[in-house]
Amino acid sequence: MTSHVYHPREIEQQAQDYWDEEQSFKMSESSEGEKFYCLSMFPYPSGRLHMGHVRNYTIGDVISRYQRMQGKNVLQPMGWDAFGMPAENAAMKNNVPPARWTRENIDYMRTQLKQLGFAYDWQRELATCDPDYYRWEQWLFIQLYKKDLVYKKTAAVNWCPNDMTVLANEQVIDGCCWRCDTAVERKEIPQWFMKITAYADELLTELDNLPDWPEKVRTMQRNWIGRSKGIEVVFGIEGQDTGLKVFTTRPDTLMGVSYVAVAPEHALATEVARDNADIAAFIKECEHAGTSEASIEALEKRGLDLGLKAIHPISGEQVPVYVANFVLIGYGEGAVMAVPAHDQRDWEFAQKYQIPIRVVITPEGYDGDVDALVSDAAHVDKGVLVNSAEFTGLNFRQAFDAIAAYLEKNDRGRVRVNYRLRDWGVSRQRYWGAPIPMINCPDCGVVPVPEDQLPVVLPEEVVIDGEGSPIKKMPAFYQTTCPECGHDAQRETDTFDTFMESSWYYARYASYDQGESMLDQRADYWLPVDQYVGGIEHAILHLLYARFFHKLMRDAGLITSNEPFSRLLTQGMVLKDGSKMSKSRGNTVDPQELVGKYGADTVRLFTMFAAPPEQSLEWNGNAVEGASRFLKRFWKLVTDNDHLDLLAAWKGPGNVPAVDWQNADADCRKWRHEVHCLLQQSNRDFAKYQFNTVVSAGMKLLNLLYDVASARHSGTVGNTYDALLAEGIDILIRMLAPIVPHICHALWGLGGVGGALLDANWPQADPQALLRDNIEIVVQVNGKLRGKINIAAGAEQQQIEDAALGDDNVQRFIKGRQVRKIIVVPNKLVNIVVS
């Protein structure tokens, strides 16, 4: 005898044991069926799963299970983004090595993932801190070094002079160190860079070949890459031989330049600062903003006249040179020409420092006072050149070409494409990361570690003291011999940015056990990832770096596809009380407690129901109760009375349902119509991955089946009700299987249905059941709802109009007025326009 009470713990354990024993999710390459690679962004092993993880992984799991029921060969792997700063912080706090802390977290979080019933192929699990993983990243880096795609140069870091350590941007709070509150300094040190700019054009144009990425992500990436065509202009500097290069996209405004400005780190500024205390102090002050662009750009725009004179490349006129805190050293040439009349920021700066504002662009046909154009703000629109010597009268296009030609002829500039995108700095002065496989030899310079000496293994038994990376003080690690000359040499002690590991893990899952190479031919079977799921916060950096890596691996001959992720779903944040759930805010909800109290299916159901995947999800404890209530009702309906027998009779092995629906009574036909409408809607929403309305359809279907069941038990109805109830239950179980797999697995088994639910066919609506004899049509008068009419499905336009005009309430609103127009929207609405 079956229990009518839902016991999630028992049935979830049984379902998970079944999947384990059957190795249901262990996948291999197969020529049968289309492959479908579904991937969720792997977690940083911070200790415990949070609701954001649960949401991310439930979405991925629902998609995986759904695609599998569509007959595809679905791979869904999982792993750990195991390197990173939090492990070092935890190490300091708890006096435990980062490696141990990380591995313990992984073990705990793996258990949590298993409890949630995610359909992962665990044999492919990887952790990026494993030398068998990062050795291939080191290997690729060396190949890229040989191809001149990586290089070393100096770049700024945040430096805490008290702790004698480099700080991440996150660790700089209001220009000060987060631990000791000392004012942070900017420090230039040599670092490794990867030439992502060499791929800027492809990264940009290939975005057009990603139609299944959200448009917003593609737009953000386009803007981030920031391709612009402009002119590199050289201003002379009075009394100096070398000129000052600036880049502008508005050469048409060149004759309106009234000053130029350089970044605080620019060589010109540094030089002047040497014997000018004010300038030096200003530059020093700018350093306290740290290195992040947000903090620099949010500053009040300030500057100082360097006392130098720049020589205009066309007029020969002298204009002042400022050092300004809003000029970014990393963009363009680290220097800008300023045209206050036609750029808002320059305009504000000029107002503040009483610099002349010279109008050189006016709207076409403008004959008013030119200065009036810029009295309140800059005039930034393109137009016609004025006061521009020989260029006067030209439009933007003409001026661009003419000025470019003039500058090129006089060797004062050239047309150039500029990118906002900068090369990727991958050096980190931290311990818990993959060692950069390079050796510094006093004689030979930089020498890569020979391939047969890889991996360069990170020592794991270390003490973290907060003053720099322990391997920098560990001769056993850094002392080595030069592979070229054999003399004493030192290893690089910086480690890779952890974005390196997360840029190629998706590919390694395909070749997870390959010990001889980074990837093998299996990667080309599984790649590209068909569906990638992760947080919108990764829209730019991670996704751009992974795209870049994919192209690097392609050009290294490892794979043949051009892009890593065919389709992308960016899930929204999990919020509580309006802000992101986070430890620091203290507003977290522990999914573990919820799973313990309600079971995994309830947590999965709530997560899918509360909001569509792409939107932020507001946490609501009461709504979890609602999800649990639904599952109890679902269990009860299916196990109640003789319902399991009905399901067995309908669906059991060898049974072929043959029902004469045409001769069922009107209520039965109406109900069946609704069942199939709900199924149709659910299928449409499933295909769109809009799971909240799928759940809603499931809830409606359950409510409806309760009505059917009670009509059936009243005893006065025909046996088509038995069939309808069984059909409805069958549909509901299969429809909800991807979302709440445990309860569906259990009910499917109890119903004596042969075969695993995992591989059951997806239910399809019966076209016959979707047809209706009568249709309700809404009647509006002047766009306002005034009545509803019921009319035969194939009614003529005239019949519909007559019926609409004949409605009593409609009559009240058209009486004594003239009907000017009647708009009929087939099967939906009539709008009577009266005057």
Partner RNA sequence: GCCGGGGUGGCGGAACUGGUAGACGCGCCGGAUUCAAAAUCCGGUUCUGGCAACAGAGUGCGAGUUCGAUUCUCGCUCCCGGCACCA
492 binds RNA (CB under 7 A): no
Q: Is 824 in a helix, a strand, or coil?
A: strand
* From 356-364, 371-379, 591-599, 607-615, span contacting RNA (CB under 7 A): 607-615
Tell me which DSSP letter residue 610 carries: S
Which of 370, 368, 343 minimizes the C-alpha distance to 355? 343
Which of 610, 640, 660 minimizes the C-alpha distance to 705? 640
| 560 φ, ψ (degrees, to nearest 5) | -115, -15
Q: How near is the Cβ of 571 to RNA at its closest, in Å? A: 11
Q: How near is the Cβ of 700 to RNA at its closest, in Å? A: 5
Cβ atoms of 190 and 425 closer than 8 Å? no
573 binds RNA (CB under 7 A): yes
Residues 56-95 touching RNA, rule: CB under 7 A, are 81, 84-86
Place of tokens 């590919």: 507
Which of 35, 123, 44 minimizes the C-alpha distance to 77? 123
157 binds RNA (CB under 7 A): yes
| 139 φ, ψ (degrees, to nearest 5) | -60, -45
Q: How near is the Cβ of 834 to RNA at its closest, in Å? A: 9
Residues 519-538 touching RNA, rule: CB under 7 A, are 536-538
**236 versus 564: smaller Cβ distance to RNA:** 564
Cβ atoms of 598 and 628 closer than 8 Å? yes
Q: How near is the Cβ of 522 to RNA at its closest, in Å? A: 26
Cβ atoms of 791 and 803 closer than 8 Å? yes
Q: How near is the Cβ of 129 to RNA at its closest, in Å? A: 11
Pattern 665-704, RNA, x by CB under 7 A: --------------------x----x-xx-xx--xx--x-
Cβ atoms of 260 and 433 closer than 8 Å? no
Place of tokens 């409510």: 703
The Cα–Cα gap between 590 and 602 comes to 14
| 635 φ, ψ (degrees, to nearest 5) | -60, -45
**85 versus 335: smaller Cβ distance to RNA:** 85
Q: How near is the Cβ of 17 to RNA at its closest, in Å? A: 28
823 binds RNA (CB under 7 A): yes
Residue 655: how many other CB atoms lie within 10 Å: 13
612 binds RNA (CB under 7 A): yes
Residues 749-788 touching RNA, rule: CB under 7 A, are 776, 778, 780, 782-786, 788
> For residue 829, what are the β-bridge partners?
778, 825
Number of residues binding to RNA, judged by CB under 7 A: 99
The Cα–Cα gap between 265 and 273 comes to 11
The Cα–Cα gap between 508 and 528 comes to 12
Q: How near is the Cβ of 301 to RNA at its closest, in Å? A: 9
Burial of 662: CB neighbours in 10 Å, binned 0-12, 13-18, 19+: exposed
| Residue among 30, 479, 579, 655 that touches RNA (CB under 7 A) | 579
Q: How near is the Cβ of 476 to RNA at its closest, in Å? A: 24
216 binds RNA (CB under 7 A): yes
319 binds RNA (CB under 7 A): no
215 binds RNA (CB under 7 A): yes
| Residue among 158, 495, 511, 602 that touches RNA (CB under 7 A) | 158
The Cα–Cα gap between 379 and 253 comes to 11
* From 169-177, 273-281, 315-323, 372-380, span contacting RNA (CB under 7 A): 169-177
* From 106-114, 154-162, 363-371, 741-749, span contacting RNA (CB under 7 A): 154-162
Residues 34-53 touching RNA, rule: CB under 7 A, are 44
Q: Is 68 in a helix, a strand, or coil?
A: helix
Q: How near is the Cβ of 434 to RNA at its closest, in Å? A: 12
Q: How many secondary structure helices (H) and strands (E) does the chain include?
A: 27, 34
Residues 370-429 touching RNA, rule: CB under 7 A, are 420-422, 424-425, 427-429
**504 versus 630: smaller Cβ distance to RNA:** 630
Distance of CA 305 to the CA centre of its chain: 43
Q: How near is the Cβ of 81 to RNA at its closest, in Å? A: 4
* From 104-112, 143-151, 219-227, 797-805, span contacting RNA (CB under 7 A): 219-227
**705 versus 753: smaller Cβ distance to RNA:** 705
Cβ atoms of 63 and 57 closer than 8 Å? no
Tokens of 633: 């009702």
**44 versus 235: smaller Cβ distance to RNA:** 44
Residues 616-655 touching RNA, rule: CB under 7 A, are 616-618, 620, 622-623, 625-627, 629-630, 632-633
